[in-house]
Structure 1
Amino acid sequence: MKMLFKRTLFLLLLLPITTIAQSVISGTVVDATLKQPVPGVNVIVDGTTNGTTTDFDGNYTLSGVNQGSKITFSYLGFRTQTIPFTGQGTLNVTLTEDASELDAVVVVGYGTTTKKDLTGSVALIGEDDFNKGNNVTAENLLNGRVAGLTVNTGGSPGSNSEIRIRGGASLNASNDPLIVIDGLPVSNVANGTRSIISSINPADIESFSVLKDASAAAIYGNRGANGVIIITTKKGKQGLKVSFDSQASVSRLTDKIDVFNAAEFRSLVTERFPDRVDLLGNANTDWQDAIYRDAFSSQHNLSVSGALADNLPARLSVGYADQEGLRKTSSFERTTTSLSLNPRFFEGNLKIDFNANLNFERNQFAPGIEGNALQFNPTQPIYDPNSQYGGFYEYTGANGLILGNVPRNPVAQLMQTQDIASVRRYYGNFKVDYKLPFYEPLRAVVNLGLDESTSDRFYEVDRNSALGTNAEEGETLGQRSDTDFKSSNRLFDAYLVHTKAFGDFNTEVTAGYSYQIFENENFTTNNVRDPNSAPPENTISPDVVLLAYFARGNFNYQSKYFLSASIRRDGTSRFGPDERFGYFPAVSGAWQISDEDFLKDSETLSALKLRLGYGITGQQDISSQYDYLSRYGLGDSRSQYLFGDQYYTIGQPFFRNAGIKWEEITEYNAGIDYGFFNGKLSGSLDFFRKESNDLLSSAPVPDGVNFSNQGFQNIGKFTTQGVEFVIDYNVVSNDNFNWNVNYNTTYIDREINKLAFGQDILTQGISGGTGNTIQVQREGFAPNSFFVYRQLYDTAGAPIEGAYVDVNNDGILNDEDKYIAGNGRADVTMGFQSTMNYKDWDFSFNLRASFGNDIYNNVNSGNAQYGNVFRTVLNNVPTQVLETNFVNTPDVILSDYYLEDADFLRMDNITLGYTFDADKMGKGTLRLWGGVQNVFVITDYSGLDPEITNNGVDNTIFPRGRTFLFGLNYGF
């Protein structure tokens, strides 16, 4: 009894001590940016298995905590916090995002890796790195941000872009990179309206992975020749987040082509054409002002992200963009809806990703009327109340009917033309990733993708328009046609991934199968108002099927020595059975030198990695899909056979090349990634060489050899080599002020090594003559080099009209006297970005530069001659004619006088913003910002813009405006 009493007393005395030593703690975990709860945070007592996770509202309760213990709060994407327990009953925690961890994951072909594990040349551009400004199309988010990547976007609203990675790899086949959206490879062909990358809402994009070298892109086989851009869209996360972004902008014309104004034109005609002054009018019209306007645009995006259940993250977004063009009547509207569901089951062993996007676009295309605006007589009015052509002034003869072969009123062309395309596009994928329960190192992945679009294009020219009018009979018909286009892209991928570690040796092996089919159908009514027009046509293009087997292995030892190897057996229906399939191997390795014992404790050098890569990719994307087959088609009225007194339509054979095959591009890459002062300064240096063999080009064939005088052939070889350099520097980093600058530059040299029979191929037609070309493909020179006469000058330095160097001294001026005078592709491109944050203020700007390329000014060469002032009617000409005094020599358009330096420095955008944080707003954050896009361009080029496509030939362009923006970003 006494013993029982003592033991009970001992327990009673021990109870308060135990109560003091072990406590229950609770609290809420929120994120630092939006102050929203973070579900699923791991809350663990250090050194024990005692732990819990936060619930949907970010709340947690943890019992059995001893005083003096340390509690760790951790969640993917946030910095881990460890806090000592000192007896407090409530412990609320704020987690901040760990940017370095977020950036560590890089999406590559059929999988992911980390920056540290990369062996190929791959660039990752995340949301924080995106360009600011009026970015209606997705590719402009990364323009100037990646070494070796150039994006050239036209001025039209929602314009398609020319995208090149390391200069491309082909002469006449596609030079566009492969675009992959959430695992779905898509065609970036415009399909008569806008390309797929123009359809994506930029606000839905989380990151871009740019696979630049063959060792990274070879996993995509015969589509990886021009590099790969992998787009990852935003997904749902735990914790409700609502975001609303809105911006408005106005764009204004920055420059015009210098032509004579009305007063100057009257003086010119009076002086040089005194017998034509009766053709002068009384108006003072600036036709360029008349066809352009201030263009207003707006973009609005709303997204809701959260979890429908503990294991079902979801994100829903809706976006609307409305962009006017500087050219009157042009506009682009896009409505996007995006749904992402990413459930996780069986403790994360079964991952399902469902991404669905439904977009609607309305494109109003304005006809290209810049040429007429430059030529039209500035002394004539826009409107004529007595005109039978819709009240617009037009050139008419004595009978009051429209004249033929004269410029048309450009304002009338705009106002009397409707060209509207309505597009519905659905794209998305359904991906299942299952870790097999009976063997956990093995995962099975199935990815189903679909990209379908339908477009209805309506084209109409008013019946009262001078266009479509019979000049002799005066009959006004106008024009009208309807075109329906349907396209479908379906994908099936299935692959296995085996991941296992053997001590310090880590392995990941992937092997799988891919099938993709493209289908296109086009229906057009042709011109229903013209009885002589062709009847309606329904064209079903042959299916293009791509079939592949692929395998890849990634290996590393002690996370210091890395090796990656892949091979893809790829086939395409574009080629014949004997040439249909090919093998595309790649191998690359890396050495993390900074982790070696002799460097790992360095306080100066924080990262140093050497990369080496080799791979072979292919190219099969040509417009001709079945040239290897014998094919026949019905002729037209120009190819009929007279039998008796009856004409019969005949069947015509098409060009055939039974041995046509893909291009093969072999690429070598050597790179160094570096970092100093714990990552304060970092970057990379890459050297690359690409050898393009069996070039696909639409080239001439000798007479009588084939059923056509030109067709796609494998004709030769050219090489591309260059250097890329990137440096990123965190100049200042503290609680109040952060400043980061980034600079990249690329040097590229391209040279044709071999062409069939060593023959030149003349390319790039120009206006101002009949059948003239200005460029050539020639062995030993860059593709599409300018091929011109060398201009002679007088003693005063003025060009002598029609006088050129007779190179071979034979007294005859012909192609033998032309020479190579540069090309339209830059040798050096640069990008520079600066981002500053001071407390709640942010300020950023982007610069880009291009050096070493030329522009052929076809606007001046085709128009700036006095002889063009009178041709049936009076025509305006560029004032550049005052410099040359050229009159009317046809071959002046082939003079090197019209080749100009295209170097430029452009400030793409500048942005200033202020953020009202949660403490000031009460709930959520609000950022107000303003900016300017296309701020300035420094260049010696005399035309509108030195940054053009068309291989450097400027024959009038849709101008880029200077855009002033204001926007807000609100989230809670």
Structure 2
Amino acid sequence: KAGILLTDPFTRTTAAFSLSPGLLDNRLQINFNVKGMRTHNRFANRGAIGAALFFDPTQPVYDEGNAYGSYFTWLQNNGDPNPLAPANPLALLELRDDQSDVNRILLNGSADYRFGFLPDLRATLNLGYDYSKGQGTVNVPDYASFAYDAQNGGGEKTEYNQEKKNELLEFYLTYGKEFEKMRLEAMAGYSWQHFWYSDNFFSSNLAGTEVNEGDNAGELYLLSLFGRLNLTFSERYLLTLTLRRDGTSRFSPDARWGMFPSAAFAVKVIENGSGALSSLKLRLGYGVTGQQDVGGYYLYLPRYLASFDNARYQFGDEFVTTLRPEGYDYNIKWEETTTWNAAVDFGLLDGRLNGTLEGYIRQTDDLINFIPVPAGTNLTNFINTNVGNMVNRGVELTLNGTLLQADDFNWDFGFNATWNQNEITKLTASDDPTYQGVLVGGISGAVGNTIQIHSVGYPANSFYVFEQVYDENGKPIEGLYVDRNGDGQINSEDLYRYKKPQPDLFLGFNSF
């Protein structure tokens, strides 16, 4: 399959097999699936998109006979490529050969057994295995202007390999029983999941000078014990209780387990009615969820990395590579989000219009944040740790209905609206009114500046900018900003928080 850019083809070969027998008078249902894939990619140089925007359209693409692959190149007075000029976009595409091959196998098996002596009891086992292995190369000739290096030899040669593995084991028991005025459904189970990866790469120029190399490996375990109880009384009152105990190897033995309960209650006030109000259901809910996927598999462990070549230590005539300690937080733990919600489900006009109106409060505690730490208290100036709290408050409205209905024609529509207010309520381990916040939203182009900020009392990702000065006609005056602190100069002390990227209101509509 051809890509949008030149030199961006994609090829995938897939084979699959499924088997679903029933045994023991169909009390045992088995499902087995296997799928294999081989994928070949050639990755186009995405930098060609930006280069095409800035390249001078009056210049030719080709320059036959020049030293840089016959592609037009801006030159300096000494004949070398000008590194500050826009690169030739076609040269970026055709002179960079970046290819990879990935083999992947997916295995999934499940067994569902209904006990003969107790038909209301069922056991389910799920097994999963996902393995992939890939390798790739990047080759750029030494005459490519964008990889030119007169001193060390240009071009690029990179080789990389990667393996990934994801294993899953899940087992649970389900029990369902009907009584005279009550229905009971219960479930309890165990889940085990293992993630593993390994990758390495080596990069050099065509003169053989090593530019970069690295090896990485890691693994992660997730364990869960979970249970759920559903009770229905008189087909009118519904109660659901759940409890999860999740553990992750991402955190220390003292902090790796979290307990996450939830409860929901509903009342069917009107069901299968007629007239203006044909159905009405009231719901209340409470739940706690955990988040451990916060980047890095070993955030709580001391880690040591080999120093850079320019940071080696000299012993006599020999320069020795040292080990550089990384910052860590042994006490880092789960983020927890607690949600309270209340909702009304309704049906109008004999069920031709159905909708839900729901309000919620979502409080996230122990939000993991990358914050500065006092000098000498850790092995780094910044660290990932639990310091943040954030709250979201909102209302959601969903409507689905039938505008026209005939024997051979229906016209249905859907509408949804969500109002959400987001606020960060804590960002530091202790209250610090002077703490500015966390600068985010880096500006592209390697300028090193940001345009957004996380601050207490404001929405996440608020814009952090200078206040524009406008003329008497309301037009902005270029390069002129308000001196907000009145010190006679414009600098970072004059930045202020101005609006946010997320809208307060989301609207959606469909018709079919």
TM class by shorter chain equals over 0.9
Cα deviation digits, residues 827-884 of structure 1 (max 9, x gap): 222322222xxxxxxxxxxxxxxxxxxxxxxxxxxxxxxxxxxxxxxxxxxxxxxxxx
One-letter amino acid of the counterpart of residue 233, structure 2: Y
- Say yes or no: does 1:350 pair with 2:28: yes
Match of 1:415 among 82, 86, 94: 94
Match of 1:551 among 219, 227, 231: 227
Following superposition, the deviation at residue 481 of structure 1 comes to 1.3
User: Cα 1:700–1:367, aligned 2, differ >3 Å: closer, same or farther?
Assistant: farther
Larger radius of gyration: 1
| DSSP 3-state at the match of 2:91 | helix
Following superposition, the deviation at residue 443 of structure 1 comes to 1.0
- Say yes or no: does 1:594 pair with 2:273: no
Query: What residue in structure 1 maps to residue 46 of structure 2?
Result: 368
Structure 1 segments (4+ residues) deviating >6 Å = none
| DSSP 3-state at the match of 2:53 | helix
Query: What residue in structure 2 maps to residue 733 of structure 1?
Result: 405
Cα deviation digits, residues 427-476 of structure 1 (max 9, x gap): 24211111111222211111111122222232222333112211x45x76
CA distance, structure 2, for counterparts of residue 344 and residue 504 of structure 1: 34
CA distance, structure 1, for counterparts of residue 142 and residue 321 of structure 2: 33
Query: What residue in structure 1 maps to residue 277 of structure 2?
Result: 605
Query: What residue in structure 1 maps to residue 352 of structure 2?
Result: 680
Query: What residue in structure 2 maps to residue 173 of structure 1?
Result: none
CA distance, structure 2, for counterparts of residue 627 and residue 561 of structure 1: 45
One-letter amino acid of the counterpart of residue 243, structure 2: I
Q: Going by fraction, where is strand more abundant, 1 or 2?
A: 2
Match of 1:667 among 318, 321, 339: 339
CA distance, structure 2, for counterparts of residue 733 and residue 800 of structure 1: 58
User: Cα 1:604–1:344, aligned 2, differ >3 Å: closer, same or farther?
Assistant: farther
* Cα-Cα RMSD: 2.1
Query: What residue in structure 2 maps to residue 455 of structure 1?
Result: 134
Q: Give the TM-score normalised by the residue count of structure 2.
A: 0.93
Indicate if the aligned counterparts of 2:307 and 2:321 stay in contact, CA closer than 8 A: yes
Query: What residue in structure 2 maps to residue 567 of structure 1?
Result: 243
Match of 1:479 among 151, 156, 162: 156
Cα deviation digits, residues 94-144 of structure 1 (max 9, x gap): xxxxxxxxxxxxxxxxxxxxxxxxxxxxxxxxxxxxxxxxxxxxxxxxxxx
Following superposition, the deviation at residue 614 of structure 1 comes to 0.5
Following superposition, the deviation at residue 818 of structure 1 comes to 1.2
Indicate if the aligned counterparts of 2:54 and 2:86 stay in contact, CA closer than 8 A: yes
- Say yes or no: does 1:381 pair with 2:53: no
| DSSP 3-state at the match of 2:270 | helix
User: Cα 1:734–1:346, aligned 2, differ >3 Å: closer, same or farther?
Assistant: farther
| DSSP 3-state at the match of 2:145 | coil
Query: What residue in structure 1 maps to residue 480 of structure 2?
Result: 803
Q: Give the TM-score normalised by the residue count of structure 1.
A: 0.50
Range with greater deviation from structure 2 (388-397 or 627-636): 627-636
Bigger relative contact order, structure 1 or 2 (CA pairs below 8 A, ≥6 apart):
1
Unaligned runs of 5+ in 2: none
CA distance, structure 1, for counterparts of residue 396 and residue 251 of structure 2: 35
Indicate if the aligned counterparts of 2:274 and 2:350 stay in contact, CA closer than 8 A: no
Query: What residue in structure 2 maps to residue 425 of structure 1?
Result: 104
- Say yes or no: does 1:329 pair with 2:7: yes
Match of 2:255 among 569, 579, 600: 579
Query: What residue in structure 1 maps to residue 206 of structure 2?
Result: 529
Query: What residue in structure 1 maps to residue 495 of structure 2?
Result: 818
One-letter amino acid of the counterpart of residue 87, structure 2: R
User: Cα 1:356–1:739, aligned 2, differ >3 Å: closer, same or farther?
Assistant: farther
Indicate if the aligned counterparts of 2:141 and 2:206 stay in contact, CA closer than 8 A: no
CA distance, structure 1, for counterparts of residue 212 and residue 462 of structure 2: 42
User: Cα 1:388–1:569, aligned 2, differ >3 Å: closer, same or farther?
Assistant: same
Following superposition, the deviation at residue 337 of structure 1 comes to 4.0
| DSSP 3-state at the match of 1:667 | strand
Match of 1:635 among 282, 288, 307: 307
CA distance, structure 2, for counterparts of residue 796 and residue 731 of structure 1: 48
CA distance, structure 2, for counterparts of residue 687 and residue 741 of structure 1: 23
User: Cα 1:351–1:740, aligned 2, differ >3 Å: closer, same or farther?
Assistant: same
Q: Please list, as runs of the form range in 1=range in 2, the aligned pairs for 1:147-186 lying within 5 A after superposition.
A: none
CA distance, structure 1, for counterparts of residue 120 and residue 32 of structure 2: 24
Q: Please list, as runs of the form range in 1=range in 2, the aligned pairs for 1:44-193 lying within 5 A after superposition.
A: none
User: Cα 1:453–1:827, aligned 2, differ >3 Å: closer, same or farther?
Assistant: farther
Cα deviation digits, residues 3-52 of structure 1 (max 9, x gap): xxxxxxxxxxxxxxxxxxxxxxxxxxxxxxxxxxxxxxxxxxxxxxxxxx
CA distance, structure 1, for counterparts of residue 503 and residue 104 of structure 2: 35
User: Cα 1:792–1:768, aligned 2, differ >3 Å: closer, same or farther?
Assistant: farther
User: Cα 1:528–1:510, aligned 2, differ >3 Å: closer, same or farther?
Assistant: farther
One-letter amino acid of the counterpart of residue 716, structure 1: G
Match of 1:655 among 315, 324, 327: 327
Q: Going by fraction, where is helix more abundant, 1 or 2?
A: 1
User: Cα 1:814–1:356, aligned 2, differ >3 Å: closer, same or farther?
Assistant: same
Cα deviation digits, residues 905-948 of structure 1 (max 9, x gap): xxxxxxxxxxxxxxxxxxxxxxxxxxxxxxxxxxxxxxxxxxxx
Range with greater deviation from structure 2 (546-555 or 605-614): 605-614
Following superposition, the deviation at residue 510 of structure 1 comes to 0.7
Query: What residue in structure 1 maps to residue 374 of structure 2?
Result: 702
Unaligned runs of 5+ in 1: 1-321, 836-972
Following superposition, the deviation at residue 323 of structure 1 comes to 5.3
Indicate if the aligned counterparts of 1:479 and 1:530 stay in contact, CA closer than 8 A: no
Indicate if the aligned counterparts of 1:579 and 1:659 stay in contact, CA closer than 8 A: yes
Query: What residue in structure 2 maps to residue 155 of structure 1?
Result: none
User: Cα 1:335–1:672, aligned 2, differ >3 Å: closer, same or farther?
Assistant: farther
Indicate if the aligned counterparts of 2:391 and 2:424 stay in contact, CA closer than 8 A: yes
Q: Please list, as runs of the form range in 1=range in 2, the aligned pairs for 1:895-906 lying within 5 A after superposition.
A: none
Following superposition, the deviation at residue 655 of structure 1 comes to 0.8
